[in-house]
Amino acid sequence: MFRPVLHTVIVTAGILWGAQTAVAENRIALVIGQSNYRAVVALPNPANDAKAVSQLLSEAGFEVLGAADLSQSEMREKLSDFAAQVAAKGPDTIALVFYAGHGLQIDGENFLVPVDVDPKREADIPLQAVRLNDILNTLTSVPSRMRIVLLDACRNNPFPAINQSAGHGLAIVDAKIGAPGTFVSFSTSPGAEAEDGSGADSPYTSALLLAAKEPGLSIEDTFKRVRVSVNKATEGRQTPWDSSSLTDEFRFFPGQGAAAPEQPAAKRTVDEWRSELQGKPVEVAHEMIVAAGTDAAYEAFVALFTQPPFGQEAREWLDRRHKMVAWNNVVIANTSSAYRGFVAEYADSDLAATARKLEERLRNRPNAAAGATAIVAPATNVSLAAPACPCSGAPSVPLKKVDLAPRKRAEPESRKRAEPEPPPKHVRSRSPRRHLRDDDDDVVYRRSPPPDYYEPAPGPSIGLGIGIGGFRGGMGGGGYGGRGGR
């Protein structure tokens, strides 16, 4: 009995010491729990998850802003207010967002779902939900030292109208292509669905509450423990995943005597993992690869251990990983041939229908080249004469209004020397040009009147922007991905 009590005292003391240390730096968090959805069955646990995480973060020295059951407009307002508070605290601030609730991927982009959504088709989600890229780009738009986004948002798609056509789970988000200093964690791997859980909290939040309280544990090691705990609790059905571009060390509770920041370890190759796993019990080897969460670790494992349940689970994880990486690359490329290639390789995938739809969308978009060649005659409505997409290049003939009114200007010295002296007035010039006006040294001649050309006013772009960015242009903003304007 004495040992557990002593352990509790030590952990509590470490937490209190860590909280005092954390106060020295600015830490602020926005915690959102979405339970009471209006158009579908309520989720019991997100409200509980949000309360428990708020308590954890308060103990870790965060100023916590809690919010529950937000509509789309309320979510946007809360995020805007949060960004303003981060900016007010200064560039040394650590900003954290925790979200528990429904999340969906549509056309390769991730959306967090407000409680007031009621979609009748896939196209309603971008109009009614909140893009994850918008959240990431809002956070990176203000100076801060670190941004941490924790998403317990990969639950099953609850909307019958789009349940059969939208992809499962969430799409890959690569924090490394956005602003440095970002850490994003998902409650399960890309393309998979997370469980709400049968207890007071979800499996992901339950694991986070335990791992984060360990004094001196880095954020990377914290989420390695979260991966292993959730995988065990769900018997392999759910394995969290994260992506990081952190450049500084972060610990929820630094703890006295915490280890110095370590240099990032070099990624092991498949052969190195095979040597490491060779001869180990399958349970131990499986826990090692789940903690690592890399393709190389899983590939080495499936080569050594083929028997169920661990061999089958690892193979399914690896196959899903390959599919989601391929899907991410296809969405970034956004070409007909890329979508056709994905369908050919993953014809039975839940994303095949989306790939066919996006290919059809590309096939039906206006031919920008043909539109450009058609704009050669003067247009009566210059706004209609603009190319369908301004990114398609300028027309071959410069569409610019020619101003025939004479303007005073200084004649270049080189031209003055090159021009012959004008003939005397009594000598008739043989030049075909007709002298119009002699205004000081500004001489204007007229040839046959040229046709009028116009430079069109910028017209509205009809290109598609999906921004699976990314945080890469498009609607999602420049930082985190997606297709730019098409």
Task: Please write the tens of the pLDDT for every residue from 281-300.
Answer: 999 999 999 999 999 999 99
Mean of the per-residue pLDDT values of the chain:
78
- CA–CA separation, 486 vs 478, rounded Å? 15
Mean pLDDT of 414-420: 49
Say if residues 155 and 193 touch (Cβ distance below 8 Å): yes
Q: Pick from 68, 43, 10, 72: which is nearest to 156 by CA? A: 43
Return the pLDDT at 453: 42
Return the pLDDT at 423: 53
**Would you say residue 417 has pLDDT above 60?**
no
Task: Please write the tens of the pLDDT for every residue from 221-260.
Answer: 999 999 999 999 999 999 999 999 999 999 999 875 444 4
Return the pLDDT at 396: 40
Return the pLDDT at 255: 77
Q: Between these two residues, 77 and 7, which has the higher pLDDT value?
A: 77
Task: Give the pLDDT band of residue 165 (cuts 50, 70, 90).
Answer: confident
DSSP string across 121-156: STTHHHHHSEEHHHHHHHHHTS--SEEEEEEE----
Task: Please write the tens of the pLDDT for every residue from 88-129.
Answer: 999 999 999 999 999 999 999 999 999 999 998 888 999 999
**Which strand ranges, in their side-by-side order, compose the sheet holding 146-152?**
63-68, 27-33, 94-100, 146-152, 182-186, 241-244
Say if residues 317 and 298 touch (Cβ distance below 8 Å): yes
To the nearest 10°, report the CA torsion of 239, 244, 247, 252: -40
Task: Please write the tens of the pLDDT for every residue from 167-199.
Answer: 889 999 988 887 899 999 999 999 999 887 777
Q: Pick from 450, 479, 437, 482: which is nearest to 464 by CA? A: 482
> What percentage of the chain carries pLDDT values higher than 90?
58
Q: Tell me the longest C-alpha to C-alpha distance in the chain.
A: 125
Task: Please write the tens of the pLDDT for every residue from 364-406.
Answer: 877 644 444 443 333 333 232 333 333 333 344 444 444 444 4
Say if residues 245 and 173 touch (Cβ distance below 8 Å): no
Mean pLDDT of 464-479: 39
- pTM across the whole model: 0.72
Give residue limits of the domains in the chain.
2-244, 270-364
Query: Quick count: other Cβ atoms within 10 Å of Cβ 178?
Result: 27
Return the pLDDT at 81: 97
Specify the CATH number for 2-244; select among 3.40.50.300, 3.40.50.1820, 3.40.50.1460, 3.40.190.10. Answer: 3.40.50.1460
Mean pLDDT of 120-146: 94
Return the pLDDT at 53: 98
**For the chain, how many residues are written?**
486
Return the pLDDT at 197: 77
**Would you say residue 353 has pLDDT above 70?**
yes
Residue 111: φ, ψ to 5°: -130, 140
Task: Give the pLDDT band of residue 471 (cuts 50, 70, 90).
Answer: very low
Return the pLDDT at 283: 96
68 alpha-carbon distance from chain centroid:
24
Mean pLDDT of 188-213: 91
CB within 8 A of 380, min separation 6: which ones? Answer: none
- CA–CA separation, 194 vs 231, rounded Å? 11
